[in-house]
Structure 1
Amino acid sequence: MKELVNNLKGDRVIWSFVALLALFSFMPVFSASSNLAYLGHGTGNTISYLLKHLAHIFIGFIIIYWVHKVPFHYYRGISKIALPIVWLLLGYTMIKGTVIAGANASRWIQIPFIGISFQTSTFAAIVLFVFTARYLAKKREEKISFKDSLIELWLPIFITLGFILPSNFSTAALIFSMILMLTFVGKYPIKYLGFIIGAGFTALLLFVLLAKAFPDSHLFSRVNTWESRIENFRTNKPGEDDYQIEKAKIAIASGGIYGLGPGKSVQKHFLPQSSSDFIYAIIVEEWGLMGGLGILFLYLLLFFRFVIAAHKANSLFGKLLVVGLGFPMIFQAMINMAVAVELLPVTGQTLPLISSGGSSIWMTCIALGIIINVTKKEEEIAQEISDKAKREAALQKLIDKQLEEENEAENEAEENYSIQDNAGNPMNAVLNK
């Protein structure tokens, strides 16, 4: 065990926060999965869901370990190669996407022969963030041309978002906003960002108008859901998602300050997606306001650690990787919590490292592995500098010791010569007396 811990390089604080979130996730997932366990005339036994979540977390940590071993500058080229693969996966998802756990959006594909569901938009987000960081780092010494950036940067981004938007508006909006944040941090000209934001809103408006013109098309089937969610949130009218919000609010109100106790949630039996999208409501019900604030505080600590890691990175590409992969993770957590307390309309965003679900956990772990790899590089550089300083100090100490020995030898030789000279010359002996 000690040897395994010693092999974990990079920022140990980030490792610790990730481990704490993962360990805490077992209790709420075990408790909140009872709703799923009763579906389809089930027995209500949630042990299988706990073991499944354990397998997802275990595989996730293996992913972090192996990804953090790969030098982060390799991801420059990987992002360009992976982008066409992402388009193929997203296109296949639009055609063959499946429905998972009652969710009414085709966002997943089944991996053949394994039976594992995979949400392709989460993988697309990671590739886009790395791709954007690569472009900004490459152009740091050059004057960015708006025309060239449209082809090299924004066209691939809009193509990817165009595949995601029809089935998952919240994820597309989150990715687009995080890319805008990343380009701002990467010093992309602000005057050009205004045109990009305008183009994004225009594309969204055109998509909605096409949905109105072709209401029976499968491609635009989610537009009515978006409109109803926004309308229900704005006017507080009962709607399809009102039941979930009401149950989440009841769960939060029932929790009080200290909660009902681990595993004692009542609303987990009635709240759909209680182990994924609305797991924060179950956490507050069982652990109370103190537990809810504790989780929020832990995510904020992780955010500040990402800020420190970005500040310490010695390359622009490393800084942008930490910002582009770390900040969306925290922002997604804030969105999930805000939905549970009805600060935002229902979005379907999970709570990173806590909500159940294989693909969301694994994609989060890939992002964490890359971030830790950036901090690992800085750790190695710092260790090399420290080792070099130690070697130089040891060498200087050895040189000083040799000089001291040589001086002592010279002084001893002069003393011996003086004694011999006095012994051989009587006059010197008389003068010395």
Structure 2
Amino acid sequence: MKELVNNLKGDRVIWTFVALLALFSFMPVFSASSNLAYIGQGTGNTISYLLKHLAHIFIGLIIIFCVHKVPFHYYRGLSKFALPIVWILLGYTLIKGTVIAGANASRWIQVPFIGISFQTSTLATLVLLIFVARYLSKKREEEIGFQGSLIELWLPVFTTLSLILPANFSTAALIFSMVLMLTFVGKYPIKFLGAIIGFGVAALLLFILLSKAFPDSHLFSRVDTWESRIENFSTDKPGEDDYQIEKAKIAIASGGIYGLGPGKSVQKHFLPQSSSDFIYAIIVEEWGLIGGFGILLLYLLLFFRFVIAAHKANSLFGKLLVVGLGFPMIFQAMINMAVAVELLPVTGQTLPLISSGGSSIWMSCIALGIIINVTKKDEEIAQELSDKAKREAALQKLIDKQLEEENEDAMNANENYSIEDNTNIPMNAVLNK
């Protein structure tokens, strides 16, 4: 264990907060998944859901460990080639998306031969923000032109958003907001940002108008849901407006200051998304305001640590990576909590590292691994380079030794050959000499 801890490089505080959130997640997920265990012909056994979440968290921690070993500048070039692959996946998801627990059919795809579902928009968010950070760091010493940036930066951004928007407005809006924030931090000209925002609003209005003109099209099937959520904070199911949010508020009110106790939630049996979208309400019901504010404090401390990491980063690309990958995670958590207390309409955003779900956890872990790699201190990087140099020196020494042995064998073989040749010389030739 000590050796494993010593191999954890980067900001130890971020490691600690991630571990705390991951460990805490087991209790509310185990409790909130009881309603899922009774769906259909279920027996009410929640152990399988707990083991599934354990596997997701365990794989996620392995992902963080592996990713934080890879120098973050490698992702600069990788994002350029990964973005077209993401577009293909998003397009395939729109056409062949599957239904997950009654959710909209165009958000998930089934991974062949593995049997797990994957939300492609989470991968798209990660790749797109790295791509934007790459562009801004590449142009740091150049004057950015509006026409050039339209092709190099905003065309890929709006292509990605247009493939996410029909199925998931909240995710598309969050990504667009994070891209605007990242470009602002990266000193993209503010005078151009106004035009980009205007273009984005106009594109959204055009999409809504097209949905009214072609109401039966599968592409515009979610527009009515957006409108009802904005107007009434409603759910996807007709006739059940405000059902989930009302149950979430009852759960929060029932929790009081100290909560009902772990596993004693009542509203988990009535909230369809109690282990994912509305898990914060279950946390407050069981752990009270103390538990609710405790989780909020952990995310705020993690946000504060991201700010410090961005400030200490040695390169602009590293700073933008921390901002682009870390801040959306915190904002997503704030949105999830705000929905539970009815400050925002239902959005479908999960609580990072706590809500159940594989793809959302793993994408968060990839982002955290990259951020932790950025936070590596100079001495840690120097130590890694020194270890690498030592390994290369040892390998070179082994190769030299092998070559030396091969040369010695060759010389011995030549000497033996010479002796054999001399023994074959006729005796009369020797006497004549």
Q: Name the TM-score class by shorter chain.
A: 0.7 to 0.9
Give 1:382 shift.
7.8
Residue in 2 aligned with 1:116? 116
Residue in 2 aligned with 1:172? 172
TM-score (norm 1): 0.87
Given the alignment of the two structures, is residue 138 of structure 1 paired with residue 138 of structure 2, yes or no? yes
Q: Deviations over 1:196-248 (max 9, x none)?
A: 000000000000000000000000000000001111039xxx96441000000
1:79-118 aligned within 5 A: 79-118=79-118
Give yes or no for contact 2:245–2:340 (8 Å, CA) kept in 1. Answer: yes
Give 1:65 shift.
0.7
Residue in 2 aligned with 1:268? 268
Give yes or no for contact 1:90–1:120 (8 Å, CA) kept in 2. Answer: yes
Give 1:6 shift.
0.7
Q: 72-81 or 373-382, which moves further after superposition?
A: 373-382
User: Secondary structure of the equivalent of 1:331?
Assistant: helix
Alignment CA distance shift 1:161-1:46 (3 Å): same
Give 1:109 shift.
0.3
The one-letter amino acid of 1:56's match is H
1:60-79 aligned within 5 A: 60-79=60-79
Give yes or no for contact 2:233–2:241 (8 Å, CA) kept in 1. Answer: no
User: Structure 1: 5+ residue runs without aligned partners?
Assistant: 386-433
Larger radius of gyration: 1
Given the alignment of the two structures, is residue 295 of structure 1 paired with residue 295 of structure 2, yes or no? yes
Residue in 2 aligned with 1:12? 12
TM-score (norm 2): 0.87
User: Structure 2: 5+ residue runs without aligned partners?
Assistant: 386-433
Residue in 2 aligned with 1:32? 32
Given the alignment of the two structures, is residue 46 of structure 1 paired with residue 46 of structure 2, yes or no? yes
Alignment CA distance shift 1:229-1:240 (3 Å): farther
How big is the alpha-carbon RMSD for the aligned residues of Structure 1 and Structure 2?
A: 1.7
Residue in 2 aligned with 1:320? 320
Give 1:180 shift.
0.2
The one-letter amino acid of 1:174's match is L
Q: Percent identity, aligned pairs only? A: 89
Give yes or no for contact 1:252–1:281 (8 Å, CA) kept in 2. Answer: yes
Alignment CA distance shift 1:161-1:304 (3 Å): same
Structure 1 consecutive aligned stretches of length 4 or more whose deviation exceeds 2 Å:
238-241, 377-385
Give yes or no for contact 1:241–1:346 (8 Å, CA) kept in 2. Answer: no
The one-letter amino acid of 1:261's match is G
User: Secondary structure of the equivalent of 1:113?
Assistant: coil
Residue in 1 aligned with 2:225? 225
Residue in 2 aligned with 1:197? 197
Separation in 2, partners of 1:22, 1:209:
43
Separation in 1, partners of 2:9, 2:70:
12
Alignment CA distance shift 1:378-1:37 (3 Å): farther
Residue in 2 aligned with 1:366? 366
Separation in 2, partners of 1:98, 1:92:
11
Given the alignment of the two structures, is residue 353 of structure 1 paired with residue 353 of structure 2, yes or no? yes
How many residues in Structure 1 have an aligned counterpart in Structure 2?
384
Residue in 2 aligned with 1:279? 279
